[in-house]
Structure formats: C-alpha cells, structure tokens
C-alpha cells in the first residue's frame, strides 16, 4: 500500500516539476525587456481617449534585437490589440530605445490605466524561427503635475 502511494505521488510530481521549469523559463523570457513609460497629450471625448505613450525599452537579455515591434494591448482577460509602435531598427543587448506613438483607446481602458493598471505591452522579436513574443515589465513615470494628485 505504501509503495503504491509513493509511486502515485512520484508520478504526479514529475509533471509538476516540468511545468515549474517551463514557467520559470517563460518568466525569464518575459524579464528580458523592461522599461518605463509616460502618458501625455491626453484628450478625452467621453467614449475614447487619445493619448501619447512614450516608452523607453531596455534590453536586459544577452543578444541584440533588430526590427522588433512593441504592441499595446488592453488589460482585459481576452486581450485586444490597441495598436503598435513603429519597428525598432536596433536594440542592442544592455541597450535602450525610446518609441512614441499616439493611440486611441476606449475611455474605460484609459480609466483602468489611471487606477494603477499598467497597459499590456509585448515585444514581437523576429528570429530564425519566425517571431517570438516577450512581455515587457514597464512602470509608469508620473509627470510632476500628476504626482500631486
């Protein structure tokens, strides 16, 4: 009885360990790109908001990136693409690039950003196998006028 129970537990542990390793590897990939962003030129018409997003992206990985594109998604569980920045010609390892673009987003989505939810940013990185997608850990930099609110 004890032997059977031990085998069953071992059989369950192996997939859990494999899943943990896979999630750790995926987490490492997501941390290859960090940065900060600012919101400016905000025009709210009631149903939608035009907002300029300036992102400074840092490549903390071990290789250069050429032709990567940052995509902006909403914060909902079934994410929708809100738009993308222009392609970044070159982002060297341990380097940074700054991109700016004005997006039109639903007022409800912009409201979530104002309540502390960061926009979802992903970096589409071309490689030999096609394109990989890496998450970007970015934090918002407030302008002095926003810090007092």
pTM for this predicted structure: 0.76
Q: Give the alpha-carbon dihedral of 10, 11, 13, 19, to 10 degrees.
A: 160
Q: Which domain holds residue 15?
A: 1-30
My answer on whether 112 and 126 are in the same domain is yes
Q: Which two tokens stand for residue 137?
A: 């850990």
CATH number, domain of 87, equals 2.60.40
- Looking at the fold, whether 66 and 125 belong to one and the same domain comes out as yes
Answer yes or no: do 38 and 87 share one domain.
yes
Half-sphere exposure of 102 (CA within 13 A, CB side): 9
Instruction: Give the count of domains, the chain.
Output: 2
Residue 28: per-residue pLDDT = 41
Q: Is the Cβ–Cβ distance between 36 and 143 less than 8 Å?
A: no
Non-local CB neighbours of 118 within 8 Å, separated by 6+ positions: 37, 75, 138, 139, 140
For the stretch 67-89, pLDDT in tens is 999 999 999 999 999 999 999 99
Domain co-membership, 8 together with 36 = no
Do 58 and 3 belong to one domain? Answer: no
Task: Kindly report the backbone phi and psi dihedral angles of residue 120, in degrees, each rounded to the nearest multiple of 5, phi listed first.
Answer: -90, 120
Per-residue pLDDT at 129: 87
């Amino acid at each position: 009885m004890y032997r059977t129970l031990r085998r069953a537990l071992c059989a369950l542990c192996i997939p859990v360990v494999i899943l943990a390793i896979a999630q750790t590897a995926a987490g490492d990939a997501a941390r290859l790109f960090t940065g900060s962003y600012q919101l400016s030129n905000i025009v709210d018409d009631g149903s939608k908001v035009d907002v300029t997003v300036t992102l400074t992206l840092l490549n903390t990985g071990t290789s250069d990136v050429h032709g990567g594109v940052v995509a902006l998604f909403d914060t909902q569980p079934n994410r929708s693409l809100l738009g993308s920045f222009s392609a970044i010609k070159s982002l060297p390892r341990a380097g940074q690039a700054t991109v700016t673009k004005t997006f039109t987003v639903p007022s409800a989505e912009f409201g979530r950003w104002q309540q502390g939810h960061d926009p979802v940013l992903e970096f589409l990185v071309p490689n030999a196998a096609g394109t990989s997608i890496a998450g970007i850990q970015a934090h918002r930099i407030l302008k002095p006028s926003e810090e007092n609110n």
